[in-house]
Amino acid sequence: MNNNITPDTQSNTSEFKSSVGLCDDIYTTDNIFGADTTSDIQQLLQNNFRQKYSCVAINLRLTKKTNLDQLLDNLKSNNPYLQFIFFEAQNYHDPLIPIINKYKVFKILADRDENMLYRSIVDAKSEYDLSAQNDHLLELIKEKNLKLRDLNVDLELRIQNRQISLEESRLKLIQANKYYSTLLQCLVGIQKASSLPEIEKSLLINLSEPLKIKIVKLQFQNSTAEIDSTAKHIFKNKIDITEPFDAYILYFKKADDIFSKEEQIFLKQISSAVSLALKKMSHEQSLKDLKQQWQITFDAIKEPVSLITENYDVIQWNSSFNKFSPIKNEKCYKNLFNRTSPCEHCSLGDKFKIPIQKTSLGDESHFSVESKWIDTLNNQKIFLNIYRDLAEQRRVERQILESSKLGELGLIGGSIAHELNNPLAGLITFIQMLKSDIKKEPDLLKDISDMETAALRCKEIIQNLLSFTRKSSEQNEKIHIKDVLNKTLRVLQVKTKPIGLNIETHYKVQQDLILGQANPLTQAFVNILNNALESVDEKRKLQKNFNPNIQVHVSENKDSKSLTVDIYDNGLGLTTDQQLKAYTPFYTTKNAEIHRGLGLTVAYQIIKDHLGDIDISQVSDGRVRVRVTLPIL
């Protein structure tokens, strides 16, 4: 046995002072390891309790009469990171494997090699520090995870509140758009007024219909005629003026009517405009100050609005006008349409329409312009121009018109058809009986045959009329629009092959499943394509070397809730009158004896029954386009 310690070992023993327990009977007086050394088991337990050792080295020779499992359990009970080293293990004969597995003994030495023992103590102390440090890090990680969880909950709440705020803003924007047209009319009337009675009259004219206002009254604090404004049918709002007394504007409804919250907010906006008008009349503020106040109002208007001179110079505009051109110090026709001369049909101070032309952005637009003279500056008249795109407006108007036509047709046609069906059926029966009786008289037979043809034609017209008042007996089912169009093209092959026409199809949809009835939809598309075929065939007969072309484009709309079927033809084209009357029952530009004028009318009704829309127009390249929009399932 070597009792000598190497110089390296001796130089580092101080680091173990009060951190290592050594259970041995040789070094009890001379602690060469710098450890608390004892051969008494109880003393070892007490030292560990006080010092909380990082490592305990046990001579197994001393524990022969001691319960080793109980000893280790007591040592580790108040120090979970404590590391154990056994030495002189050859003198211990009881099984060690359960002890090793249970307490995770760090090192077992067969003899008492001091250098090996010292190195084991160094490693065990490092393992103790590492275990304690790992647990500390785990606690820190748990703490951080809790903080992250709290932050995540807070973030979700913020996002939820933000979504609620956005939804509220969206609803407010819808309400603002609802009133903007009335607001604009009120602003024009207020700014053109030159006296208080004119302001009251203008507001009453513009507010009587949309808000059901019966009286508008401007009242000042020094007025002798005070009005009770506590009633629900009266709304009183203070006007901001610079006079030494207060001014109010009062709006009256019927006694049984009340002002909603939205109406009150809207009328407060009117009051702001009245305030500006009163200041203008009282102090003759400069046009520059008025422009700054107006700009706030202009930017709240959805449509492009501008102030221009009679020489077409743009002097003020709203934010919607900015989309046309970033440069405003030019003529209005230059800003809007990149023109070098005024627009066709331009009529400042009046309402006029601008023909279809390209804007400065390159888009084709058709505008209706409301122009009002509002002031004179430097001997030049100033006009307020409001530009409205007519494409959407015309589409809605046309749908309303066609719906009313079909409603009238259904009402009149249903009653007439039911009254005529029975006598007409008897008439056809008697004509056919008469025809069979006079087969031997050719002259009379021709007349009777003509009578039969006319009667059968009347029956066909009545059946078409009844189709608008009867609901289809078919049940709605899931169908692919591609299958419907393919069936339509097969039906029309008998007409396309003789003229050498191949109808082009372009499908750009991933989902074309709709809920509807295949047979009526096929009939609708057959009627639409029949019109296109007849148009290109007529043009083919009139022009030599004409190349007829019909295209069908199917695409999915951006909202992913509907699809569009566009049918183009390069036939004879479409006049404005034909476009307006396209869906009118019995309207036809062809031979009325052959063409009944119900093709597009029937198609219109079928598409509407499928909750879709149909629109017919002539695009810029001269082709006619019929656009059908249907909801995707």
CA dist list (Å): 406 to 462, 467, 574, 628: 15, 11, 22, 18
pLDDT at position 551: 92
- Helices 261-283 + 114-192 axis angle, to 10: 60
Say yes or no to pLDDT of 343 above 70. yes
CA distance linking residue 598 with residue 584, whole number of Å: 8
pLDDT at position 84: 92
pLDDT at position 2: 40
Mean pLDDT of 500-507: 88
Mean pLDDT of 389-398: 60
Q: Which residue has the higher pLDDT, 607 or 239?
A: 607
pLDDT at position 566: 94
Domains and CATH numbers, the chain: 7-134 (3.40.50.2300), 193-285 (no CATH), 394-466 (1.10.287), 477-631 (3.30.565.10)
pLDDT band at residue 506, thresholds of 50, 70 and 90?
Answer: very high
CA distance linking residue 465 with residue 598, whole number of Å: 9
Cβ distance 398 to 450 under 8 Å? no
CA distance linking residue 18 with residue 52, whole number of Å: 9
Q: Which residue has the higher pLDDT, 15 or 433?
A: 433
pLDDT in tens, 398-438: 655 555 555 555 555 555 665 676 677 777 777 777 777 77
Cβ distance 323 to 361 under 8 Å? yes
CA distance linking residue 450 with residue 368, whole number of Å: 53
Mean pLDDT of 153-167: 88
pLDDT at position 569: 92
- Of 157-166, 356-365, 543-552, least confident by mean pLDDT is 356-365
pLDDT in tens, 272-328: 777 777 777 665 544 454 456 655 665 666 677 777 888 888 877 777 776 666 565
pLDDT band at residue 8, thresholds of 50, 70 and 90?
Answer: very low
pLDDT in tens, 203-236: 888 888 777 888 888 877 655 455 555 556 788 8
What phi, psi does 477 have (nearest 5°)?
-145, 165
CA distance linking residue 223 with residue 131, whole number of Å: 89
pLDDT at position 7: 39
pLDDT at position 564: 93
Q: Which residue has the higher pLDDT, 177 or 454?
A: 454
What phi, psi does 28 have (nearest 5°)?
-70, -30
Q: What is the pairing mode between strands 504-508 and 477-480?
A: unpaired
DSSP string, 8-33: HHHHTGGGGTTTEEEE-SSSSSS-TT
Average pLDDT, the chain: 77
Say yes or no to pLDDT of 390 above 80. no
pLDDT in tens, 122-149: 888 888 888 888 888 888 999 899 989 9
pLDDT at position 543: 86
Mean pLDDT of 466-471: 52
Q: Which residue has the higher pLDDT, 487 or 65?
A: 487
CA angle centred on 311, ends 305 and 313, rounded to 5°:
45
Q: Which residue has the higher pLDDT, 288 or 111?
A: 111
CA distance linking residue 592 with residue 589, whole number of Å: 8
pLDDT in tens, 61-88: 888 767 888 888 888 887 888 999 988 8
Say yes or no to pLDDT of 59 above 90. no
